Chain A
Amino acid sequence: MNSKERGAAAIKEPAFGGRGDRVMSRAVFGVAVSGIIILIFILGFLVANGLPVLATNPLSQILFSAEWYPTEEPPVLGMAALIAGTLAATLLSSLLAIPAALALAVFTAEIAPRRMRNVFKVMLEMLGFLPSIVLGFIGMMLIAPWMQEHWNIASSLNLLNASILLGFLIIPVVASLSDEALAAVPIEMRDASYALGATRIETIMKVCVPSALPGITAAVLLGIMRALGETMVVLMAAGGAAIVPHLLTDPIRPLTSTIAAEMGETPVGSIHYHALFFAGLILLLMTLVINLLSLYIEKRGVKR
């Protein structure tokens, strides 16, 4: 039986119905609902534990004050520096990594010979699974001393160091997913483009990339969210000073590393404890904004 016949046979069978299908569909439904319930529970837990901090510290102070002294009596909880640190690291690492990742994806999907592409794919996927603590270690032991020696800066555990590492973390993710998106563009579209006399680069730029754009957008946003939520690398390599960074060489303290570093000490139910949950809530909100952005971009893409 060749593939065409098998496809035809599959269509002839009834699409749904019968007892087996009903049981299966209920099972899937049950699993999905329980997953959603657990997610809602987690969200509720975050909100319930994060919001009490607003009773003692007004939102404006939390968002716009850069004074973070959570263990003082009473605690001073200005998260502006932490938020700025998170945004700075995410932005800089995305700027460094995403163009490179997209170029890599175009290369592996469109330009590289098949055998080379396979090697690249395996390598990218392996790099994508690189534990972030290993990367943090590299930043601390290799990049930081090198920067210190060659650049004459006060401290090499800083925004730039962390962003470079975060970049390394997200390049394989973005490249690998974008590559898949590009590879999914039907060959007929390329053939049509060549038939109309387009060159290879024109085909890639004007046909392949635009039609793979939703997938590429999703890949890019996934990469950005990975950088936003990454904890270990920034804990180890970003220096951890709670200041709003002005230079690339300023140390930063993102929300994630703050939560990781301070969760140990905080007594359950204290203001500091609630503040850390609130920081988690802010992180969640940031990812939500990015998600909505992706939805918006995809919709616009479809309209065109």
Chain B
Amino acid sequence: MKKLFGLLTAVLFLAAATMGEAATIVMDGSTTVLPFGQAAVEQFMKENPGVKFSVSGTGTGNGFKSLADGSAQIANASRFIKDSEIQSCMAKKVYPVPFAVALDCIVPIVHKSNPVKSLTQAQLKDIYTGKTTNWKAVGGPDLPIVVVGRDTSSGTYGTWQEMILDKGGKARVTPRAQVAASSGAMLSSVSKNKNAIGYEGMGYVNKTVKGLQVDGVTASAVTARNGKYSLSRFLYMFTKGWPEGEVLDFMMFMQSDAGQKIVNGTGFVSLRELKK
């Protein structure tokens, strides 16, 4: 009986030891970062067999939550961390370290049949606060404007709020604004409604909708990097404390030319012009 017990403990110890060795690195957070985050992780795992990642996208706010409670080592974010989130991290002795990994343009999107080509930031603000309610007022057809926004757990929502609505005094988004629960839902509701206007990270804008110019500038890698396109932002990965070991390796990979090529390949803007 005693022997059996000893054997059992030995087996348990062994299991614990091997489990410790093959620990998976958990990445959670923004759905905007997900496409290239996932692609980069796959590439990294191919080059470093033995390293295990588990990746999920639950929204920027959730990512910081996972970072604070220790369930994730890397939190993807489509906006910078908020003061309140830093505090909740610090309360659990987690020191979040930001790494900028890509640039993104937020593009106002409308239905393909909409003749409007460009809106100014002021017009966008009027539309989102509910002051402008007809496409006629901004040079479109005589149709009501259906405003579509993102839910509050989206980092894209936070960026939009800051860049458009809070410009020149705080403003509230109209209560009539519809809420799309994900980037995909946003695309489908704008692509199926000729009255709708929404916004989306550049990597997600596809042919089913029409991206608008902002103040006459088209969103592109060039206009994002030189700052001409006013609605561009950094995308981040936050690590739990200063990264070490495999997490550090991955961060270095993410910011290397190889990692930035993956960023480019998924429709986002790499941090620098890559040598061809």
Task: List the interface of chain A (C-beta within 8 A of B).
Answer: 66-72, 81, 140-141, 144-145, 148, 154-157, 235-236, 239-243, 251, 253, 257, 260-268, 270
Q: Please, how many angstroms separate the alpha-carbon atoms of A157 and B152 in the complex?
A: 19
Q: In the bound complex, do residue A264 and residue B59 qualify as a contact, i.e. CB atoms below 8 Å apart?
A: yes
Contact residues in A for B180 (Cβ distance below 8 Å): 240
Closest to A155 in B: B146
The answer, among A68, A235, A262, A267, for a CB contact under 8 Å with B175, is A68
Nearest-neighbour CB distance to chain B for A89, whole angstroms, equals 15
Q: In the bound complex, do residue A241 and residue B177 qualify as a contact, i.e. CB atoms below 8 Å apart?
A: yes
Contact residues in A for B185 (Cβ distance below 8 Å): 140, 236
Per the CB 8 Å criterion, the residue count for chain B at the interface is 33
Closest to A81 in B: B175
Q: In the bound complex, do residue B178 and residue A241 qualify as a contact, i.e. CB atoms below 8 Å apart?
A: yes
Closest to A67 in B: B175
Q: In the bound complex, do residue A267 and residue B179 qualify as a contact, i.e. CB atoms below 8 Å apart?
A: no
Judged by a CB distance under 8 angstroms, whether B226 is at the interface is: no
Contact residues in A for B58 (Cβ distance below 8 Å): 264
Judged by a CB distance under 8 angstroms, whether B181 is at the interface is: yes
Contact residues in B for A267 (Cβ distance below 8 Å): 61, 65, 84-85, 88
Q: In the bound complex, do residue A243 and residue B152 qualify as a contact, i.e. CB atoms below 8 Å apart?
A: no
Q: In the bound complex, do residue B61 and residue A155 qualify as a contact, i.e. CB atoms below 8 Å apart?
A: no
Nearest-neighbour CB distance to chain A for B171, whole angstroms, equals 11
Q: Please, how many angstroms separate the alpha-carbon atoms of A66 and B47 in the complex?
A: 54
Contact residues in A for B196 (Cβ distance below 8 Å): 155
Contact residues in B for A263 (Cβ distance below 8 Å): 153
Q: In the bound complex, do residue B178 and residue A264 qualify as a contact, i.e. CB atoms below 8 Å apart?
A: no
Contact residues in A for B121 (Cβ distance below 8 Å): none
Q: In the bound complex, do residue A148 and residue B178 qualify as a contact, i.e. CB atoms below 8 Å apart?
A: no
Nearest-neighbour CB distance to chain A for B111, whole angstroms, equals 10
Q: In the bound complex, do residue A253 and residue B179 qualify as a contact, i.e. CB atoms below 8 Å apart?
A: yes
**Which chain B residues (194-208) contact chain A, with CB distance < 8 Å?**
194-196
Q: In the bound complex, do residue A242 and residue B146 qualify as a contact, i.e. CB atoms below 8 Å apart?
A: no
The answer, among A71, A154, A268, for a CB contact under 8 Å with B195, is A154
Closest to A68 in B: B175
Contact residues in A for B161 (Cβ distance below 8 Å): 71
Contact residues in A for B153 (Cβ distance below 8 Å): 261-266
Q: In the bound complex, do residue B175 and residue A155 qualify as a contact, i.e. CB atoms below 8 Å apart?
A: no
- Shortest beta-carbon contacts, A-B, top 8: A240-B179, A264-B153, A265-B61, A265-B153, A261-B151, A264-B59, A264-B62, A239-B178
Nearest-neighbour CB distance to chain B for A239, whole angstroms, equals 4
The answer, among A81, A155, A268, for a CB contact under 8 Å with B178, is A155
Nearest-neighbour CB distance to chain A for B31, whole angstroms, equals 10
Excluding A140-B185, A155-B196, A261-B153, 13 further A-B contacts by CB distance (< 8 Å) are A66-B175, A71-B161, A154-B144, A239-B179, A240-B151, A240-B179, A263-B153, A264-B65, A264-B151, A264-B153, A266-B61, A267-B65, A268-B65
Chosen A-B contacts, 8 in total, with CB atoms closer than 8 Å, are A157-B178, A240-B178, A241-B175, A241-B177, A257-B181, A261-B151, A262-B151, A265-B153
Q: In the bound complex, do residue A155 and residue B195 qualify as a contact, i.e. CB atoms below 8 Å apart?
A: yes
Among A236, A240, A268, the most chain B Cβ lie within 10 Å of the Cβ of A240
Nearest-neighbour CB distance to chain A for B41, whole angstroms, equals 21
Judged by a CB distance under 8 angstroms, whether B188 is at the interface is: yes
Q: Please, how many angstroms separate the alpha-carbon atoms of A144 and B192 in the complex?
A: 8
Q: Please, how many angstroms separate the alpha-carbon atoms of A89 and B170 in the complex?
A: 33
Q: In the bound complex, do residue A140 and residue B189 qualify as a contact, i.e. CB atoms below 8 Å apart?
A: yes
Instruction: With A251-B178, A262-B152, A265-B153 as known contacts, state yes or no: A270 contacts B84, CB within 8 Å.
Output: yes
Judged by a CB distance under 8 angstroms, whether B176 is at the interface is: yes
Closest to B192 in A: A145
Q: Please, how many angstroms separate the alpha-carbon atoms of A159 and B98 in the complex?
A: 42
Closest to B161 in A: A71
**Which chain B residues (147-185) contact chain A, with CB distance < 8 Å?**
151-154, 161, 170, 172, 175-181, 185
Contact residues in B for A156 (Cβ distance below 8 Å): 192-193
Closest to A269 in B: B88
Nearest-neighbour CB distance to chain B for A136, whole angstroms, equals 10
